[in-house]
Structure 1
Amino acid sequence: MWSRILNPGVISKASISLRSLFTMRLKTSEFQSLLSDGLNGLAEVFEKNQHELRIAGGAVRDLLSGKRPEDVDFATTATPEEMKGMFQSAGIRMINNKGEKHGTITARLHNENFEVTTLRVDVQTDGRHAEVEFTTDWQKDAERRDLTINSMFLGLDGTLYDYFKGYEDLQNRKVRFVGSAEQRIQEDYLRILRYFRFYGRVALEADDHEPETLTAIRENGRGLAAISGERIWMELKKMVVGNHAGHLLELIYKLDLAQYIGLPPDGDVDEMKRVWRNAKDHSPKPMTILAALFHCPEEVEKMDIRLKVSREEKNLALFLVRNRRELCKNVDEPDSLKPFTDFIIDSRELDSQSKVCELLKYQGEHKLLSELCQWSIPRFPISGHDLRKMGVTSGKEIGATLQKLRDIWKKSRYQMDKDELLTYVKP
């Protein structure tokens, strides 16, 4: 076992051990910032009761990448019952007991919540769920995790515990499954999409996959059909806005996965890659990229049935598919923003401007996008009450007159005020 103390921000490749367990000491500012009064108090409770407590999984990966993690999960050798006894004796409040059956207890100290999970081993898996048993063996817990970069632990003294060269892979920007890719995938088929998502976050090159990994994904892809749409969508939408999204979506088609995850079997991959190149530097919404795969609104409806996306996401996809050609046909004209602002005015929907912005990202119209982002929706100055005061009383006539005045107002680039518009009304 190797051990080395690192200065903040300094990590040496030469320190990587070829043995099964690699350790080193991390002392970066991002790590030190986690050591709050709450965490120090939690650590004291575990130390007093002679149980180990370590940071686990994604938070370790983020810290080693120089990032302060948004969420921090903890792992321990203590069982849930032992944790409850420890916290009760220390007067520590416990909340959200829904995770207890999975070995997770949430403690609250100094206005912070800490999720702590007992080390586990998988006893039986069916590709969606696992039956687990508790253990005190850190390596056994690491073995059940998906990717090497997510299988590391970090002690609260800064000591890294790495059983599967996760740190080496992180340094080399490699994404690999722990042990056998096929076995890890068969334990939970959603790991196929997790692999793609983390590839987009870690890998430097778009197409630098290990051939055996892609083979395992292709041969086990049909297992995704049994995964819930909500879980698939959660992974897919993170992948689509990450690096290499165009390549990864194309790979999903090459590996024959699309049919299992709600995407059209003959999706327009070339259009998707074009849209991704257009939009990737302008923070597109996930559905803006995916919409390029759909040929018609009916395919959006089928996707929604499988993935159960939000109403807002579905409506955006439908809007893009229906308007990506017609609404953008005059973008080269002098007043090319007007069709878009007129559409927003006519739609009278609260999110219409946001949808049109996504359409401009889709089409790569960055200049128009900038102009529209600075444009504020003007208020139409005429109401039915104004017309009634002028003697227009029929509901049908009021509606027709309002539309006529709205068209005049739009032609004036929304500049005409109430008095000017009312001169067009004949009582």
Structure 2
Amino acid sequence: MPKTSQRGQLMPESPIRKLVPLADKAKSKGIKVYHLNIGQPDIQTPKVALNALHTIDRKILEYSPSDGIKSLKSKLADYYHRFNIDVDENDIIVTTGGSEAVNFAFMSCLDPGDEIIVPEPAYANYTAFAIAAGATIKSVVSTIEEGFALPSIERFEDLITPRTKGIMICNPNNPTGYLYTQSEMNQIKDLVKKYDLYLFSDEVYREFCYNNTPYISAFHLKGIEENVVLIDSVSKRYSECGIRIGTLVTKNKELKNNVMKFCQARLSPPLLGQIVAEASIDTPEDYMREVYNKYLERRNFLIDGLNKIPGVYSPIPMGAFYTVAKLPIDDADKFCAWLLSEYEYEGKTVMMAPASGFYTNGARKNEVRIAYVLDKEDLKQALIVLKNALEVYPGRKD
């Protein structure tokens, strides 16, 4: 039998989805599973988006242009202007979700053997797409004890070699909810400029910055506009993960030409998704405000509840809708699997994402990522299950 590729063998399992078979098995037994593992909001998609889907009047569902429908790109440019991001429709390429934007960015910027520096914990798919591009991630690990603040810039500089091509950040951050300060972003800018690196900036969660904490886009950093590759998606802000529409935004013409070749090779982004996404940009402000307030309320409720459980600690996230929590356990991968395969409390259990999958070296075995995408009553029940589970877990460590 022929061997599979080394690349495929190196590709990591998703910490967010790898336990799905165990969750499905638990559900088949009648156990209620609270899904805190994945950023799938329970909030209804805006009516303007659903109406656009319901009223599609086309005789043919055709290919769109490889870089996306012109009217969508024009409206996206207007949307970015609301956040003082100075781009136009020619800087925007529509992709099949933010994931494809990351993939195309890496494939277009990195050669096999190149390196990118990533503050960790980081979104697990960055590693997957780096492997696909034949590149290597060099991690700079932040700590829960310091609230996942950006590590010292000297630690970044220590990792720079002749093969270093870029820095990848997520702001607001998935999985930690950390929001980079102006000072931290300026330090990144200076490093990017000094070594002429790409700055890949995943800014999917810009609508969700709490406590009046300012959102600093990579495009707000003056003097490195040609180095910035912005990654975006409509999935989270409009609760429409399934339409698979993202964007790659760049002012670098050579890079855009490279990306377009990959876009043409995959033909076009989803037509129906683009129609829905274009309508979504007209979502009323009161919808966005209501969603923001819900996440803020859920965040406060969850973090307060977590920190009341003996041995559990989570810093307060300032953005997105995730937090990383430290638990009094031996191994989060084992604990999360145990919750689904061996434990229930009054017919209920909890699914979380082991944080080891958000570190390239599998560090921090006692951390989990929790998504507060469920309503407060569900979060309350999940906290009860978690508290009782920790009391009886065989691998508990105090």
Structure richer in strand, relative to its length: 2
The normalised TM-score by structure 2 is: 0.26
* TM-score, length of structure 1 as denominator length: 0.25
Structure whose residues are more often helix by fraction: 1
Bigger RCO of structures 1 and 2 (CA < 8 A, at least 6 apart): 2
Q: Which has the larger radius of gyration?
A: 1
